[in-house]
A and B are shown apart, each in its own frame.
Chain A
């Protein structure tokens, strides 16, 4: 891919018409051939498209995931590295990481919609898809990390003859509500947004099966003014519902830690700090997918350099909030005057006496140092840099959870109970499995659903065309 593309301020480039938009985006779904190139060479003389390669890798790791889950349920949490005192390790790290990744989707689709940010149109669909798949990945961990997953449903407040309720004081119960609400609303929002596009696909499909399937999915959408009117209402309501979720879900996840008394967890800044971190990681993941996808499917006109510029700026801003959080931890340790808090910082930072200080310094490198390049427009528009930074941020945000969760647990109040955490092959299998599942689902999504909202692009084009005739300033943002 070219490292640099010429940068202009437009969020929709190229010669566009409704038919061209339909073909460029809808055609990806309707035409299998679009997934078969560019061709890349594989070992042993095989050739395949990147889509096929990713799908197959994803499928492979889905099987790894199934294996890991089977082994876990049959044997017990003991196959993981969790121990005493480290009750939570990869399981909760991955949970928080995945939930965080989902956040960009909701932010883009809900908050930016409410803020009438037109640049969201090109990226919201697949960001939302990422949200849903990420939440699915995330959801597996709290379920399977319980010692007895077959009774994990006790966390739900269901009526039962024993009159037992969950304990509403526990942040884990708040989690259950937060995450399940999040998944439901995201799924609804996503589906509602897909309805007009399903109708387009139904109308453009040439194969009978596609016509029937999209026909059913489009729920009788005919594009009448009434439909559009209702659609607008529905999406505003759903956006209104989702908007607080962006803030609440990760705030509540952060309360799992902030509500506890574990030094390193019991930090009041956690809710905003976690939300910022989530958006940070989420946007990184969106860019990680957007860069290759637009290239492979020739969507450069729809996801333009301007989009990457915006997203980079969001990352920079949220990244700085996260780093403010780090700085606050140092301050807090000093200001508290408490031995445990101070030794926590010591344990994080001391290069020689703290077994995991490498993780902390790597985290600062990943989440603070390297992304600072995003201040420079030149670097923001350099795909190699941008892709690397996003990868680095994803790693950095994972390390952040590693630093917070198991590292804080290894050394808390009684030095006699200080411990050490090292993950096992099954921890990695489960984590890699969810990544595989995510990639697999994304590839299926790219294959079967329009990855950019067709009608919104048309609407955008309409606005832009309209603005050429005198309203240019209004849309420039």
Chain B
């Protein structure tokens, strides 16, 4: 504003005003019109176009451009989201505090109780449900890993029709029309293919459907079925029943090529019961005795007191010989098969006979029905029926897996007699026997649909691909191995536009009920209306429906069974035999897209990402596999040779893995690999099998004949002349390889009798060259022992762990539990090959034998396992070497890792004698490309970035959680209040964690057990807080001698 003030007009504005006036400026005082105009103008300093010169104009243009740019990027209107706060929050809901739900996971139709941990509505971890008979609080690796499947980015997200997105309503309209069309002739031409159905609700729905369409076919198929067991029961028992075992009552367990601790509906429970019988932790002085006769080492074989490798095809003969020794009626004299030590067999038989009513003989699902039948006869003869062997009516409504029916259905499909195929779950195109061309059948049907989590092989062959809900997203129900029923309750809304089988059927028959209503309606019918709500909620809370366990049924072995079996001819291998089994991790292939399970080292072999043709050293040599002859291993830097295995004109090319302890002449192949569709994890990366595994499709050898699990004769083998890189988490060259390796004193073991007669071991301080003060670093303070360094301040919690080597079976449940709890990433096959797997706990495997050098028995070595995790050394070698103090000791004895501070020199890892530290060589934990995976992360645990070291923390987040709870109570943390994830998961209860400054805690007592020893401590004075309890076996004196 130009000043227009002169003396003349000054005071103009004050004219005619009285009293004291205030003014701000002379212009105001003057009251000029210019001033008034200036006041009125909102932007008095603005330029006008007329005033602008060229330069000014350009400046403004420039500024305008810039602001336009700002507006485009920063000031755009963001999409509006409605945020509605809780007015009244859900009951007991505290953000940041996990909520637990009881539910079930189902495999093969049988339910296992799970406890789902959810954070802000996201399920993040599965634990066992302590109330559930199949779990008792622990959970096997496979079930735990299924929480990862929920967030699998490769899941099918919406229904598609011939590859184009479609709506559910469209599907049901079309399917309804089709059913309508076929209704006049009773639904003939409709084929339902399901997996084993154990859910009572689903079964009633299927029955309802079949009632409406009586001519429709329902085929139940699962590759890994218990067909042989059922066949054996049908052959032997009257009435035909299903049996389960009370291993907790058994003093002698004989396994005839079975692994009841890893396979079957009660694996975790059986492991608990068997290992409880071997637990010396609470002052027990008795152990059960386990004999394992098996074609390939299993977890049961590893813990067995006596293990004998024997061909799978010789097991029938062995079983007969055992029955003969025991005097089972009708068997007569049966010689032991060649290669079996007669004394061994006789001693085992005497042991069984001496423990009448307190023994169990079991056989595996892949052994033929005759073996199962004979085992029934043996158990009855031993008086085990009604004590250790419990009979019930079959748990599954339709217990058989109908391979024959599947074959017939496919024939009809090919013949054009089928108009509609609905495949509910499962993946029959991939996992049906090689001689049943399911895909060929589907191609000949006018209406095909597949309800599936993934767009897999079967989806690829169907017109309709329908997304199936994960069990954590849907209502359902199921029965445990003993018949106990549970409700499956969802813990999250479906992530995608998916339906459960129950919802699918409801919609298919035109119903409109929600999943919960359907299940509720069923159980209302089953339980009765009276008090239903209370019972329903109790069942949801408990995870089991009380009183639904099936009652024991008296069952007897048929007369004349012995004679019938004695007359049967076995199929005995003349050359090499092929044994096919479900994979220990990915099972029949259904978990092939699960990274946790793919990277989980398979028990004993420690292979990851692939299956293999496993055989013992001699068999491999005979086949022409190149092996270092002296030590019987393929050196770490050499790839595995490949072999062609041909059965009935179908060939599988597989990499050879030498699995010490297998029976001579047996080639073991696991199912579940060689998948071609259904996700990114299961496929070889960039079509380079060496990068991503993918394995070999053993289903090509899986036949629909009498016993699909074995190819006793007729398999041809030839070397492929190629090699394949297998990713093994542990190299083969192991203990006892050289003289000097043998006195590292890593594993300690003894026998029960030696243990009981041994004097209690005094625990000494390690010798030191310095006086105690010097050694403890407290110089100039006299009478200070190492104990007073603060390492063991009894006023603090002092955390410690014991791992009982007697109880560890190597089942890997702890590994997955740790991975799930601590946000541990998977790294992929190539990184595993490079030795960069991230698991914080690992199961070390050692072979041992009597000899040294070339004399050690490579074909039948002793196999020993040792779970190793951070030892939380009191005198930790990793701590002083870290240049930035990123790993430090807590007053409570934890060796802490401060991720934020870590610069990643890896010095700590080099200096760790246990090699338990894991380094993020790449950005393994980053899920930015698949954000859905971030939902799985445990919010209590930092996700580690690239270049950072990590390791076991003793689940410090759980300790802190318990500390908070205890402080709220104004109390100390009680024993058992903090459990680590590995401890929770362990079905054997081999891991005990607690506060060692509490003398009464379980861990304190175990630390003073005379079996306790500290790994490498006598070499290095690391003073580990994780203490091992040495392995005790209970060998039969007659065999030992």
Contacts and interface: CB of A to CB of B under 8 A. Distances in A.
Given A176-B883, A416-B845, A146 B905 contact: yes
Interface stretch (B426-434, B610-618, B728-736, B790-798): B728-736
B844 interface: yes
A82 B885 contact: no
B929 to A, nearest CB: 15
B903 interface: yes
Contacts of A343: 738, 740-741
B548 to A, nearest CB: 45
A173 B905 CA distance: 11
Nearest to B827: A78
A400 interface: no
A292 interface: no
Contacts of B835: 83-86, 419-420
B831 interface: yes
A420 B637 contact: yes
B904 A77 contact: yes
B663 to A, nearest CB: 25
Query: 5 closest Cβ contacts across the A-B interface?
Result: A147-B904, A147-B947, A87-B906, A416-B844, A78-B921
Interface string B733-770: 11101101111101000000000000000000000000
B949 interface: yes
B884 interface: yes
Contact of A147 (B635, B734, B742, B902): B902
A421 to B, nearest CB: 9
Interface string A349-369: 000110100000000000000
Contacts of B636: 355, 419-420
B785 to A, nearest CB: 22
Contacts of A146: 903-905, 947
A473 B1025 CA distance: 70
A81 B946 CA distance: 16
Contacts of A169: 880-881
8 contacts: A77-B922, A146-B947, A166-B885, A260-B911, A262-B911, A413-B744, A415-B734, A420-B637
Contacts of B947: 76-77, 146-148
Interface of A: 75-78, 81-88, 142, 145-148, 151-152, 154-155, 164-167, 169-173, 176, 256, 259-262, 338-340, 342-343, 346, 352-353, 355, 409, 412-420, 422
B524 interface: no
B834 interface: yes
B868 A76 contact: no
B883 A82 contact: no
B546 interface: no
Interface in B858-909: 866, 868, 877, 880-885, 901-907, 909
A83 B740 contact: no
B742, B835, B837, B920: residue with the most chain A Cβ atoms closer than 10 Å: B835
B855 to A, nearest CB: 15
A75 B907 contact: no
Given A147-B920, A416-B846, A170 B734 contact: no
A415 B907 contact: no
B532 interface: no
Range, interface on chain B: 35 or more
Contacts of A151: 903
B394 interface: no
Contact of A353 (B738, B866, B885): B738
A244 B524 CA distance: 89
Contacts of A340: 740, 744, 1019
Contact of B946 (A147, A419, A422): A147
B631, B730, B834, B949: residue with the most chain A Cβ atoms closer than 10 Å: B834
B149 to A, nearest CB: 27
B903 A154 contact: yes
B919 A147 contact: yes
B1014 to A, nearest CB: 13
A415 B909 contact: no
A413 B903 CA distance: 26
Contacts of B1019: 338, 340, 413
B496 interface: no
B904 A148 contact: yes
B915 A417 contact: yes
A176 B907 CA distance: 14
Contacts of A339: 740-744
A418 B880 CA distance: 24
Interface of B: 630-631, 635-637, 730-731, 733-735, 737-738, 740-744, 746, 831, 834-837, 842, 844-846, 866, 868, 877, 880-885, 901-907, 909-911, 913-915, 917-923, 945-949, 1015-1016, 1019-1020
Nearest to B734: A415
A164 B913 CA distance: 28
B881 A84 contact: no
Given A147-B948, A342-B740, A355-B637, A170 B868 contact: no
B605 to A, nearest CB: 14
Contact of A170 (B637, B738, B880, B918): B880
Given A78-B921, A146-B904, 20 more contacts: A75-B922, A76-B922, A76-B923, A84-B837, A85-B915, A145-B905, A145-B906, A146-B947, A147-B903, A148-B902, A148-B946, A169-B880, A170-B883, A259-B881, A260-B911, A342-B740, A343-B738, A415-B733, A415-B734, A416-B734
B631, B635, B733, B915: residue with the most chain A Cβ atoms closer than 10 Å: B915
B738, B846, B884, B946: residue with the most chain A Cβ atoms closer than 10 Å: B884
B630, B909, B1020: residue with the most chain A Cβ atoms closer than 10 Å: B909
B910 A260 contact: yes
Contact of A167 (B834, B882, B1020): B882
A414 B746 contact: yes
A346 B744 contact: no
Contacts of A165: 885
Nearest to B884: A154
Contacts of B910: 85, 87-88, 260, 262, 409
B921 A76 contact: yes
B733 A418 contact: yes
A175 B835 CA distance: 28
Contact of B949 (A147, A171, A355): A147
Nearest to A257: B910
B883 A83 contact: no
Nearest to B742: A339
B354 to A, nearest CB: 38
A409 B731 CA distance: 15
B881 A415 contact: no
A88 B908 CA distance: 11
A167 B743 contact: no
A414 B733 CA distance: 11
A382 B882 CA distance: 48
A334 to B, nearest CB: 11
Contacts of B631: 353
A416 B909 contact: no
Contacts of A417: 730, 844, 914-915
B321 to A, nearest CB: 38
A413 B913 contact: yes
Nearest to B888: A167
B734, B917, B919: residue with the most chain A Cβ atoms closer than 10 Å: B919
A87 B917 CA distance: 10
Contacts of A338: 1019
Nearest to B914: A414
Contacts of B1016: 413-414
A170 B878 CA distance: 10
A259 B866 CA distance: 29
A171 B910 CA distance: 13
A75 B920 CA distance: 11
A340 B630 CA distance: 22
Contacts of B907: 87-88, 170, 172, 256, 260
Contacts of B948: 147-148
B542 to A, nearest CB: 41
Contact of B731 (A145, A171, A172, A419): A419
